Amino acid sequence: MSDEDSVRFDVAGNGPDENELALRRAEMVHQQLEPRGISDRRVLDVMSTVPRHLFVPERLRKRAYSDTPLHIGEGQTISQPYMVALMTEMLGLTGSEKVLEVGTGSGYQTAILAELGQFVHSIERFRSLADSARQRLADLGYANVEVHVGDGSLGLDFEAPFDAIIVTAGAPETPASLCSQLAEGGKLVIPVGSQTLQRLHLVEKRRGLLSSKESTGCVFVPLIGEDGWEA
């Protein structure tokens, strides 16, 4: 990666300049998202404001706005900005939705959803990631988020139904548990395929019936759980 692809820190090494960070977010939107077809203005606006660099390990903050996923510990990653934007756009959030996120990770996608929906329930199987994301989101003032620890492939039946469900891990098939927790008119976005290559699926519930459409190819860490892959 060239120096131009990373955020510049000040001469004392204390951290990035806020104007520089705003510029990098704007460049991320204009160079990575809009040319690939992301057009939902609300999604683009929130991607330009949420501080992605605060959701990655400190050693990787200079790469926070690069066009790539980054490791966050426990064998997990923060998704490429484009994939975050694409999956969010597919949900078509308007601001009134109760959202379920499967795979909290660093909490970055959670923050994006919290900006665009009414309330977000997020579930993470690694307690260490859940605890750090919960604290990070609280520090940033997100009061409309609750982070749970558990088997995300089973969803959160006690909080269902959900207007939108997003799964940030690849599944062998769309979990029946998640489909059953969709509200009427709800949407579910999930990567489906092998453990090494998936395609995004958009599942919608209309008049009690489910329909599914395939979208772009992608690569996510596997969805481990009872309705996913075995550990």
Q: Could you tell me which residues come within 8 angstroms of residue 229 by beta carbon, excluding any fewer than 6 positions away? A: 171, 172, 195, 222, 223
Q: Could you tell me which residues come within 8 angstroms of residue 158 by beta carbon, excluding any fewer than 6 positions away? A: none
β-strand pairing of 145-149 with 162-167: unpaired
Q: Could you tell me which residues come within 8 angstroms of residue 93 by beta carbon, excluding any fewer than 6 positions away? A: 42, 99, 113, 116, 117, 164
CATH number for the domain whose boundaries are 68-218:
3.40.50.150
Cα torsion angle, 142, 47, 164, 218, sign = negative
Q: Is the pLDDT of residue 82 over 80?
A: yes
- Report the pLDDT value the prediction gives residue 16, as an integer from 0 to 100: 62
Give the mean model confidence (pLDDT) for residues 200-208: 97
Quick check: pTM over 0.85?
yes
So where are the chain's domains? 68-218
Average pLDDT of the chain is 93
- Residue 141's CB is within 10 A of a number of other CB atoms, namely 8
Q: Is the pLDDT of residue 193 over 80?
A: yes
Per-residue pLDDT tens for 25-56? 999 999 999 999 999 999 999 999 999 999 99
In whole angstroms, what is the distance from residue 53 CA to residue 20 CA?
12
Q: Tell me if residue 96 is catalytic.
A: no
The one catalytic residue in 2, 39, 79, 122 is 79
At residue 18 the predicted structure's pLDDT band, cuts being 50, 70 and 90, is confident
In whole angstroms, what is the distance from residue 69 CA to residue 71 CA?
7
